[in-house]
Copies of this chain bind each other. A is one copy, B any other.
Amino acid sequence: MILSALLTSVGINLGICFLFFTLYSILRKQPINARLYAPRLVAERKLKDTGFNLERLLPSAGWVKRAWELSEDDLLESSGLDGVVFMRIITFSLKVFSIAALIGMAILLPVNFTGSQLKIDISDLPNKSLDAFSISNVNNGSNRLWIHFCAIYTFTAAVCCLLYYEYKYLSLKRIDYFYASQPQPRQFTVLVRSIPTVSGQRLDESVEHFFREYHPSTYISHTIVRRTNKLQQLTNDAEKLYKSVAQMKSQEYTRGFLGIFGNKAQQLSKLEKRLEVVEDNMRMEHKQSTLGGKEVPAAFVYFKSRFGAAIALHMQQGINPTKWITEEAPEPDDVYWPFFSTSYLGRWICKLGMLVGTFLLTVLFFLPVLVVQSLTHLEQLERYFPFLKNILRLTVVSQVITGYLPSLILQLFLSFIPPIMKTMSSIQGYISTSEIQKSACSKMIRFTTWNVFFANVLSGSALYGFDLILEPKKVPLLLAQGVPAQATFFISYVVTSGWTSLSSELFQLMALVFSYIKRIFSGKESDDLVVPSIPYEKEIPKILSLGLLGITYFFLAPLILPFILVYFCMGYLIFRNQLLNVYAPKFEMSGKYWPIVHNSTIFSLVLMHIIAMGIFVLKELPLASTLSAPLPVLTLLFNEYCRQRFLPIFTTFATECLVAKDKKEQDNPRMAEFLDKLVDAYKDPALKPKVNDNNNDDNRLTSPLLRSGEIRV
């Protein structure tokens, strides 16, 4: 990719960004779009209608100001610790790349540009690649490479310092947040799985007996999990049927005469009969489920104190370590019910299967990446599609194809992956939606690292990556050859994947189009207002993949750094705005995403070191390569230290915390009430009587049978 193609890509993306920003600044002020651009405020009834005025039609940057002024305490209050951690990931990246850009642009870029290795004619720059600004242009064996060497050491030290302070800050925040939290059911609950079946004893009795015997002073009660997939399905069917019936009836009613359209009436009675059958089935299924016929060997066990629950959680309970397995209970709404029924061995096999599946998906995705990469080589395209030759010869077209299209297509392919990863994680046996999301996030990070970074870098030799595992000696040299060559492609990737996806995050093009279409065809808005939560499994891998690019290219091609810096500046404002207006926290993970970010950054650093060692050999300065060897070792030792010093704080709470919190609330009169309610916290939603929570809107209610709670046993 040459400079002009890159500029085309940057131009297109800049244009799109500018368009989206302007449109957003106007459209967000139209009340008709409130549910799209500020669902959170709508749900919290915080949106005031100011009436129509001319200002509404002009783009304004008021939202930028509000986003800028948001303080961390406000953010903590409105979006929870996870929101704060998410924003701190961005500010952390901002700090890292400010340092990187400073070193890179002020020191490394001039050094690179004044080299003469590539003998680039500056007057012909637009038709050349950007190699003049990269380390490739420094003369081989030149002592100027020691500047790069020092830059790498300095940058690594700076990033490690930032990582350390961030980890420390967030671990303190996490503990403070715990101390300040209201009592939550999950703090007092433990999920017990693989309860052994004793002949002649019901599961219910087994659990009661076990915990009365071994945790006599802290055990309160428990809820056995039941297999309700079928009931859930029947409920859904009934709800759908009831909706149809209700709709039909209201239609008949508006037409005035019941029975005029005989056909319709027949249909209605048919539907009503089917509804009755389904409701009968539901009643039977419900009875079976609650009477123990469909018990799953899992239970939520409630304790009197947080410390009591933690003891049950952290100690091995049964003599057989594959029985009485205790897990952290998720929040009641967060429980992912469908996957409870499998046995220990079943879960293990599912887990293994999904690991293999993720691996295969990651590897096979290599193929579309290869296709994308072939686009950057126009000659191949001309050979395969000769009829396109004339069009391809146009400068603009060729520049669009080589500059913009590859990253766009990669982007499109990538957007299909998060839902697949989420499904895989859910099969893997996690019992809460938030854990599924976290696991999908980790999977996505590995996926993007491999497919965006390595696949593009190593695409020169098809499926070479697999051989690499078998010949690790060649890795540094291969990377050193492949990585600098892809600098321009990755700049274009940053612009497309970073800038444009950020601005479309703000503008929500697709959602906007869908809502307009819906409004035109159905004549009204959809009934349910869904306040989304941050799609961590999409956003964090994207941020981290740009971080990986920034860190690895920091000393190779510092020209990428300003683009990344702009991305994070935009991200800072846009995500703050979105957290204010759009996303509401659904489940609390209490900052558990930070360790993922930490590990990922360490990985990027070590990768940079390995590339550096390869580059210095290629550049005929082997001493620098040898002297770089301690860097990855030191970085990994630093990581190990952090892992011991901070990671435990992010996985559990210490006795000190738990007992202190328990003692503080001992005399709180509301605690007794809370503990009374606790035993009903983890009821399967399918077994709960449905309560209509929106009485104004009769269309939304479910079967009257369910509403009245008739089928409670």
Contact = CB atoms under 8 A, between A and B. Distances in A.
Interface in A301-322: 310-312, 314-322
A323 to B, nearest CB: 10
A659 interface: yes
A321 B473 contact: no
Interface stretch (A147-155, A412-420, A530-538, A650-658): A650-658
Contacts of A473: 467, 470-471
A182 to B, nearest CB: 20
A102 B352 CA distance: 36
Given A318-B654, A321-B649, 7 more contacts: A175-B319, A214-B659, A310-B315, A315-B654, A322-B644, A348-B644, A470-B473
Nearest to A475: B470
A645 B214 contact: no
Interface residues of A, number: 40
Contacts of A470: 471-473
A317 B644 contact: no
A368 interface: no
B314 A315 contact: yes
A353 interface: no
Contacts of A652: 316
Nearest to A325: B644
A655 B214 contact: yes
Contacts of A215: 655
Nearest to A310: B315
A690 to B, nearest CB: 39
Interface in A565-614: none
A279 B75 CA distance: 68
A77 to B, nearest CB: 23
A315 B644 contact: no
Interface string A195-220: 00000000000000000011100000
27 contacts: A213-B659, A214-B655, A215-B655, A310-B315, A311-B315, A312-B655, A315-B654, A316-B654, A316-B655, A317-B655, A317-B656, A318-B656, A319-B656, A320-B645, A321-B645, A321-B646, A321-B647, A321-B648, A321-B654, A322-B644, A322-B645, A324-B656, A352-B637, A467-B473, A469-B472, A470-B471, A470-B473
Interface in A620-669: 637, 641, 644-649, 652-657, 659
A705 to B, nearest CB: 44
Contacts of A214: 655-656, 659
A214 B662 CA distance: 11
B654 A319 contact: yes
Contacts of A317: 654-656
Interface in A272-289: none
